[in-house]
Amino acid sequence: MMVMDWGLQAVVIGSSSSYSANNIDFSPKLDFQESDHQYLSFSHEMKKEFFISDELEELYKPFYHVDGGQNILMGSSISLIPKEIIKEEKREEEQQQVVAPTSTYVPKYKKRKNEQKRVVLQLKADDLSSDKWAWRKYGQKPIKGSPYPRSYYRCSSSKGCLARKQVEQSCTENGTFIVTYTAEHNHSQPTRRNSLAETLMIDEFQEIEMNDHEEIKNMFEGSDENECVSIQEMFDGDFFAGLEDIHDGFTSSFGCNNSTSPFSF
DNA sequence: CGGCTTTGACCCGCGC
DNA sequence: GCGCGGGTCAAAGCCG
């Protein structure tokens, strides 16, 4: 098992058509062998996919890999890909001398001052109740162009926690909801936990955070946190807390079972 | 009684 | 500068 360059970079890919859930080992693994430090290792092909909105798609255009395929479900998908994979893919592209359509995206206007990194998921109604964090609704607004209002939630587990969640019903797909997570929890303990595996996984990261947080953080290359989903999310635990939701959505969307889903442990 | 939802008012960034 | 749209605030009421 190799230890990778742990700078994780969020990359939007414009197509899920090449996705083959049954042929690829996506499972992240903990590697304790290298030193006193604990590393997360992914198989080479692993990509963690999230469904994102067209709006976020714009946000991520600087990172675009566009292959012109058709998207599954709405919008496109955002993937967390270890940088080493990105480098290798880039190297392969150079070797093949493929002239990719480069996207020189220049934002039309500055981002909002309080705009933070966001993760947008498309979930079935049943999956909404499996959120492990306690949320308190603080607003609801009608959204232009949508028949459904958008609800605003903040984390109620801890005072001063900046984590936010927006929920709106998809106007294109009945029974599905667009859930947007903004900012990060300033506490690592969800209000409730489900599987033992997930509990163990979160505990591992809490231990890392306590012991070697700074040192491990230095292993990761800096990135614009407005535009990249950072490894910090993993240490904060909400990455794994949300993984089960993604897993559920994945199994229902791609029709695979628990053992073939990339989000099962 | 504490924590929650509801809802109108307010704030702020952006386009014109 | 003004209007629009999205995000947040906060008072009031509900609920267990």
Closest Cα partner for A175 from A126, A243, A248?
A126
Amino acid A48 CA to nucleotide C14 C1' distance, rounded Å: 41
Whether the pLDDT of residue A160 is over 90: the answer is no
pLDDT of residue A66: 27
pLDDT tens, residue by residue, A101-113: 333 333 333 344 4
Residues engaging strand C (CB under 7 angstroms): A 114, 138-139, 141-145, 150, 152, 154, 164, 166, 182
More confident residue, A230 or A179: A179
Strands A118-124, A176-182: pairing is antiparallel
The answer to whether A134 CB sits below 7 Å from nucleic acid chain B is yes
- Structure tokens given for A126: 């049943």
Select from A20, A21, A5 the least CA-distant residue to A81: A5
Q: Which has the closest alpha carbon to A22: A255, A260, A265, A252?
A: A260
pLDDT of amino acid A123: 85
Over residues A64-83, the pLDDT tens digits come to 332 222 222 223 333 333 33
**Cα separation, A81 vs A45, whole angstroms:** 9
Nucleotides of B under 7 A from a protein CB: 3-9, 12-15
Task: Say how far A49 CA is from C4 C1', in Å.
Answer: 34
Please report which confidence band the pLDDT of residue A188 belongs to, taking 50, 70 and 90 as the band edges. Answer: low
**What would the 3-class secondary structure string for chain A be?**
CCCCCCCEEEEEECCCCCCCCCCCCCCEEEECCCCCCCEEEECCCCCEEEEECHHHHHHCHHHCECCCCCCCCCCEEEEEEEHHHHHHHHHHHHHHCCCCCCCCCCCCCCCCCCCCCEEEEEEEHHHHCCCCCCEEEEEEEECCCCCCEEEEEEECCCCCCCCEEEEEECCCCCCEEEEEEECCCCCCCCCCCCCHHHHHHHHHHHHHHHHHHHHHHCCCCCCCCCCCCCCHHHHHCHHHHHHHHHHHHHHHHHCCCCCCCCCCC
pTM for the whole structure = 0.46
Lowest-pLDDT range, A115-119, A135-139, A189-193? A189-193
* Residue A136 confidence (pLDDT) above 80: yes
